[in-house]
Amino acid sequence: MRGRVLSVARHPAHGSGKDVTDEITLVAGMGVEGDVHYGATLRHESHNPDGPNLRQVHLMSQEMLDALSLKGFALKPGQIGENILTEGIDLPHLPTGSLIRFGSGALVVLTGRRNPCAQLDGIKPGLLAACAERDASGVMWRIGVMAMVVEGGVVRPGAEAILRIPPAPHHPLARV
């Protein structure tokens, strides 16, 4: 499956939004250079700071933003904290370990689904609830997926995003 990058963003401090930019640099084992989540260990206040950083890169699809727009939540790129906004890849339904290679050669491995927090309601009241989708297994948050950087490189809007699914058995993305 192939998709493309629509926008890239980063921000040096905790908060809900990220600053859209012309390019981001992914560094192997570390994440997005200049972003608050950059580092080999966790950079999230509510998690074990000594654990491996499974949240180096936040990916979101335009299709997810379009679905939220239909619910009355028109969002701009970077507004909910994603580093890479894609089009054409069904991110929330991919298995753990899926790989996405970007045009520059940068490679990320999907580690889990983003676990949204109440900050979303600070962007727009009701946004947190709008991001929940119930299926047979319970609640699936449609607010993006998290990844680790396997191979570094520069990622720009317009870059191709090539998906590689890992061999079976597949495991659904869990919250990280």
> Are 96 and 172 contacting, i.e. CB atoms less than 8 angstroms apart?
yes
Name the phi and psi angles at 79, rounded to 5. Answer: -65, -30
Name residues whose C-beta falls within 8 Å of residue 70's C-beta, 6 or more positions apart in sequence. Answer: none
Q: Which two tokens stand for residue 90?
A: 């069904």
* Beta strands at 145-151 and 31-32: parallel, antiparallel or unpaired: unpaired
- Cα–Cα distance, 105 to 30 (Å, whole number): 16
pLDDT digits (tens, 9 = 90+) for 116-171: 777 888 888 999 888 877 666 666 667 899 999 999 999 999 999 999 999 999 99
Place 23 in a pLDDT band, splitting at 50, 70 and 90: very high
- The domain defined by 2-103+126-164 folds into M1 Pyruvate Kinase; Domain 3 (2.40.33)
pLDDT digits (tens, 9 = 90+) for 61-118: 999 999 999 999 999 999 999 999 999 999 988 999 999 999 979 999 999 998 777 7
Q: Residue 46 CB: number of other CB atoms within 10 A? A: 7
Task: Output the pTM of the full model.
Answer: 0.92
Q: Which of 138, 89, 92 is nearest to 114 (CA)?
A: 92
Residue 26, classed as helix, strand or coil, is strand
